[in-house]
Amino acid sequence: MVSAPHEAMHRVFQQDPTLYARVFRTLGLAAEEPVAVSLLPTDLTENSPLERRVDTLLKVEGKEEGGSFLLAVEAQGKKDHAKPDAWAYYVTYLRSKYALPTVLMVVCQSRATASWAAEPRHMGTPEWPTITLRPLVVGPHNMPVVTDPDRARADIPLTVLSAVTHAADPDVDAILKALSTALRDVPEDQANTFVELTAQGLGRGRAAHQWRNLVAADLSFYTSPLSQEIRDEGRAEGEALGEARGEAKSLLRVLVGRGFEVPESTRARVMDCGDTHTLTRWLDRAITATTLDEVFAASESASGPEAR
């Protein structure tokens, strides 16, 4: 199943096809402003049982004769040793179909995957490699960290790509803040697309939770269904966390009221537990337990935080 981050890493180029030129320049490559950039069908399937699809395919028309080329954008979430063969197929097939040079861009969210994707692949015999595959790799190792709202406002798509590729980095909080601030000045119908792409690209990690909070706070005036959904998710998570903290405090009060000496490590364990079912089980045990071990013992059928 295709993941949300996978979709965001290439769909941002569909939203703004000219983004490729700014990315090229960011990577130190020459990139003139194109005459036009158009989306092409991504289906590379031939009349055979094997179906192949590139993630995003752009046709870039240059000003000079012979300056046009194809840009195939592939999102890669992890190492996949079967993928380079598919990439080589894409490039050679597209060259044959459109009679245009083809650049393969691979967008990654981890430095390890980016390093793997950037390795040249020589296809042929060691003595005579017929094809050498060298993708242009975009990832946290070479994408700018956009933390200034003015810079974010000047190029929203590039800032979205910055956030998505740095999703696992500590810098992502500052990028997301700059992006949410910049989106205040963007018409709602346009901003909503970038809110969605960013949410998709961040997946379900800590940064995704931070993005939901920022959307709820900085973009609270938006009324689109997606923005409302993100705000509702953030509110639900906050309510669940508040309920868990209330249970945790009740448990500690019962333990102290019954005369137990509660070490700091146990207090921290209780307050860090976000599972209300586990906290309720501990609270029920605390009413009759004679030792702390009885309260926190993992039951044979337990799963989740208590059993770990």
Lowest mean pLDDT among 56-65, 138-147, 227-236: 227-236
Instruction: Tell me phi and psi for residue 241, to 5 degrees.
Output: -65, -40
Query: Does 48 have pLDDT greater than 70?
Result: no
> Residues 170-185: pLDDT tens digits?
889 999 999 999 998 8
Query: Does 191 have pLDDT greater than 60?
Result: yes
Average pLDDT over residues 14-35: 88
Query: Does 149 have pLDDT greater than 50?
Result: yes
Look at residue 49 in the predicted model and tell me its pLDDT.
56
Look at residue 1 in the predicted model and tell me its pLDDT.
52
Position with higher pLDDT, 121 vs 275: 121
Radius of gyration of the chain measured on its C-alpha atoms: 25
Q: For the residues of 111-155, what is the DSSP string, one character each? A: HHHHHHHTS-EEEE-SS-EEEEE--EEESTTTS-----HHHHHH-
Cα gap 133→234, rounded to integer Å:
43
Average pLDDT over residues 49-57: 79
Report residue 141 as tokens: 């190792």
Average pLDDT over the chain, rounded to an integer = 85
Look at residue 167 in the predicted model and tell me its pLDDT.
93
How many C-beta atoms surround the C-beta of residue 242 within 10 A?
A: 10
Average pLDDT over residues 88-105: 93
Helical residues (DSSP H) of 258-288, grouped into ranges: 264-272, 276-286
Query: Does 300 have pLDDT greater than 50?
Result: no
Report residue 159 as tokens: 């800032």
Query: Does 153 have pLDDT greater than 90?
Result: yes
- Rounded to two decimals, the pTM is 0.67
> Residues 251-289: pLDDT tens digits?
888 888 888 888 888 888 888 887 888 888 898 898 888
DSSP-assigned beta bridge partners for residue 43: 53
Average pLDDT over residues 243-254: 84
Look at residue 275 in the predicted model and tell me its pLDDT.
82
Query: Does 84 have pLDDT greater than 90?
Result: yes
- Indicate the pLDDT class of residue 233, thresholds 50, 70 and 90: low
β-pairing, 102-108 vs 136-138, is parallel
- Indicate the pLDDT class of residue 224, thresholds 50, 70 and 90: low
Query: Does 235 have pLDDT greater than 70?
Result: no
Look at residue 241 in the predicted model and tell me its pLDDT.
66
Average pLDDT over residues 92-108: 94
Look at residue 299 in the predicted model and tell me its pLDDT.
46
Look at residue 178 in the predicted model and tell me its pLDDT.
95
Look at residue 305 in the predicted model and tell me its pLDDT.
44
Contact indicator for 153, 184 with CB cutoff of 8 Å: no
Look at residue 304 in the predicted model and tell me its pLDDT.
45
Look at residue 308 in the predicted model and tell me its pLDDT.
39
